[in-house]
Amino acid sequence: MSHAPLLRPALPPGTHPIETGRYTLSTPPLSRFCDDLKGWIKNRATGAMVTGQPRTGKTRGIRFAVEEIRDELGPTFPIMTFSCEDHQRPTEARFFEFLLSEFGHSLSHRGTTGAKRARLIQLLIQEACAHHHNRLIIIADEAQRLNTPQYNWLVDIYNALDRQDIATTFVLVGQPELANQRDVFEESKKMQIIGRFMVHLHEFTGLRNFEDFTYCLKGYDEESEYPEGSGCSFTKYFFPSGFQAGWRLASQAKVLWKAFQEVRDEAKLPGKAEIPMQYFSRTVEFALNDYGSLEGGKPIISLNQWKEAIEHSGYRDGGRYL
């Protein structure tokens, strides 16, 4: 009788992070972003831009980076995040109301424009000073949606915080159009905006080579764990016998990179030969879910099987629009 099923924890069907997609592992692009973010905070930079193509993992990267910063600087270190909305006709009142709501204020809808502005600034001051940091990191996702009036209102907020001796760092995260906006501001001499929010530039890339793949796949082998405290990595859960025999997902890095390049060439996809994290993750998830085995011995995932997994990730079609 085989005892292989006992090699992994018993979980309700569909609840593993690989099945739900609710997990974030470190990647080379994410590691570079975290390093730069830590540097901006350490040097009290006023502002920075982080640009990247869609589906490269920027939004998840923000959550991961916030956790890293708080692990390093303490759980009370003041970091606030919001995701920008596309307002065709923005008003000051609506903008302040939106920020109050994003930051969790219960009275975001009440009062005049001036009252909302004062309430927002007071909220930010309280957050910055609650544990005597006198620092505030504000990260705006989808920042390519911001327009000139909204930047001007953010300048007012920055100045109000500065008058209270609060060192604020704004980090704008968005698609490549964000860098184009900086060029427009430079041409129109809006240095008050550039100087506060766009001093530094970081490009959030996709995965560029099989070494990047190796780094990421090691995360499934070594850095992941579910359930918490079980000692069971994602790879070990889906290939328990193979894992026990010494097989690791990282050993598949070269063949997986080759599979992506072949799919890319066959589909004649445009742009750089970078693999967005979303398609990489979905490919690995498909492989773990569909090729995972409780059988003994080291598993073999063929080039064609990896290409099948890539097809299911949506890369062939989605890669045309990067």
Q: Per residue, what are the HEC states of 223-276?
A: HCCCCCCCCCCHHHHHCHHHHHCCCCHHHHHHHHHHHHHHHHHHHCCCCCCCEC
Average pLDDT estimate for 299-307: 97
pLDDT score, position 3 = 46
DSSP for residue 188: T
pLDDT score, position 2 = 45
Do 157 and 96 touch, CB atoms closer than 8 A? no
Contacts of 62 (CB under 8 A, 6+ apart): 81, 139, 141, 173
pLDDT digits (tens, 9 = 90+) for 26-48: 999 999 999 999 999 999 999 99
Do 56 and 39 touch, CB atoms closer than 8 A? no
pTM passes above 0.85: yes
Average pLDDT estimate for 257-269: 96
Contacts of 59 (CB under 8 A, 6+ apart): 83, 141, 173
DSSP for residue 206: -
Full set of structural domains in the chain with CATH: 28-203 (3.40.50.300), 207-321 (no CATH)
Q: What percent of the chain has pLDDT over 90?
A: 89
Residue 282 has pLDDT above 70, yes or no: yes
Q: How many whole angstroms separate alpha carbon 26 and alpha carbon 277?
A: 11
pLDDT score, position 318 = 86
Mean pLDDT, the chain, integer: 94
Residue 133 has pLDDT above 50, yes or no: yes
pLDDT score, position 31 = 96
Residue 7 has pLDDT above 80, yes or no: no
Per-residue pLDDT band for 319 (boundaries 50, 70, 90) equals confident
Average pLDDT estimate for 59-87: 94
pLDDT digits (tens, 9 = 90+) for 202-235: 999 999 999 999 999 999 999 999 999 999 999 9
